[in-house]
Every structure is written in C-alpha cells, then in structure tokens.
Amino acid sequence: MNSVILSAGIRVLIPLFFLFSLYLLFRGHNAPGGGFVAGLVASTGFALYAINYGAERTRRRFKLKPIFLIALGLLLAVVSGLIPIIAGETYKTGLWLEEIEVPIMGKPGTPILFDIGVYLLVGGTVLKIIFSLWEE
C-alpha cells in the first residue's frame, strides 16, 4: 500500500503503542489491563506497519518470529504455575518477592510472570494471524 501519511505516522505510533502496552502489562496485574490487552496493543503497531509495508518487510525489519513468541509465552505461563509447586504450594498460587517494590508494578511475583507469558502469547498469535492473512 505505502501510504505517505501512514508511513510518517508509523514512526511515532509503533514506539507509542509499545510503551503503552508495557504500561498496561505492568499496571494490569493489580488493576484493569494485563497481558491480554497489552499484547493486543503491542501487536497493533506491528499490524499497521504490515498494512503499509507488507508482512515480509515487517518480519525482516523487526526480526519478528511469531511462533517463537507464542512458544516463549506458553513456557512463561506454565513456569509461573510450576514455581509455587516447587515452593510447596498448589499450582498457580501467587507468590511475591516481599522485599522488592517496583514503581507502577508493585511487588514482582508469579502473577506478573504469567501476565508476561500471556502478553507474548497474544502478541505472537495476533502477528501470526496478520502475517498469514497478508500472505494469502
């Protein structure tokens, strides 16, 4: 397509979408938002780039491998559930590091690890769908 307006806007929009998605991710495990919404927002910037330049150029430019993102997201989500088992708790019990406080996010723990897994999984899935549709 190569729209001049979209080309100019993408330079600003991709970093903004990505930063807003990180805000939603880290804010969301204690408030509305989280990994799912953040993954959708992050993939929106790449979707706009793909609409303007095509899927292959988007993959090359950002070195995106959706299957890798999906696999890594699943791995993190499963690991976030296994950590409590190792600690002697039941599967998916939330555990936090009490001595560390991170601005915006609060105390890090297994819920944020799960949210990061969902973030990568949703982002990778949306990108895979967009790239597959574009190539058809």
Q: Give me 13's structure tokens.
A: 């929009």
Q: What was the pLDDT predicted at 4? A: 86
Q: What was the pLDDT predicted at 37? A: 94
Q: What was the pLDDT predicted at 26? A: 84
DSSP letter (8 states) at residue 1:
-
SS3 of 102, please? strand
SS3 of 96, please? strand
Cα 65 from Cα 84, distance rounded (Å): 30
> In DSSP terms, which residues pair with 102 in a beta bridge?
106
SS3 of 46, please? helix
pLDDT tens for the chain, 136 residues long, are 778 888 888 989 999 999 999 989 888 766 666 899 999 999 999 999 998 898 899 999 999 899 999 999 999 999 999 999 998 899 888 888 888 887 777 788 888 889 999 999 999 999 999 999 987 7
